[in-house]
Amino acid sequence: MNLIYRNAEEGDLSKLIEMLADDQLGADREDSSTPVNQAYIDALKVISDDPNNELIVAERSENSETYIIGMLQLTYIPYLTYKGSWRCLIEGVRVHKDHRSKGYGKQLFEWSIKRAKVRGCNIVQLTSNKQRSDAIRFYNDLGFKASHEGFKLMIED
């Protein structure tokens, strides 16, 4: 089934936060309370106002109803390396638990890679928490290679 891709809107936030919080790692770091935490609204505004960022939702239609089934963020980054190339960083990838293992994740990535090409990128990169073994297997199956070691530093107040 084909998906519809669009930029996220403020009205999508509760559904997106629900997907971000729906696993062992996200449950502790996200805030699913209502009303939506202002920090999410502020972040969406910054992302939406930045021409090098896109928070994308994937929807499917069924019986005249449209459902958000997935999301990810694309960040376009200029580099000096590779002769001044552009890269696309994919982050915050989620497919709703009711729609996993149906090919939607693959469609979402195929669309994202095409989008990166349209934006002039010659590298698509992502990170995944080492505890997400299913996600890592999925990325490997899509052709991504674990060619680099990634590092993160959490900055606390």
Domain of residue 109, CATH code:
3.40.630.30
What Cα–Cα distance (Å) separates residue 15 from each residue in 33, 59, 152? Answer: 12, 12, 27
Average pLDDT of the chain, as a whole number: 93
Whether residue 135 lies inside any domain: the answer is: yes
pLDDT per residue as tens digits for the range 107-146: 999 999 999 999 999 999 999 988 888 889 999 999 999 9
SS3 of residue 111 by DSSP: helix
Whether residue 56 lies inside any domain: the answer is: yes
- Mean pLDDT (whole number) for 78-92: 94
Q: pTM higher than 0.75, yes or no? A: yes
Whether residue 34 lies inside any domain: the answer is: yes
Whether residue 91 lies inside any domain: the answer is: yes
Q: How many domains does the chain have?
A: 1
What pLDDT is attached to residue 35?
94
The residues that bridge with 58 in the sheet, in sequence order, are: 5, 70
Range of the domain at 81: 4-141
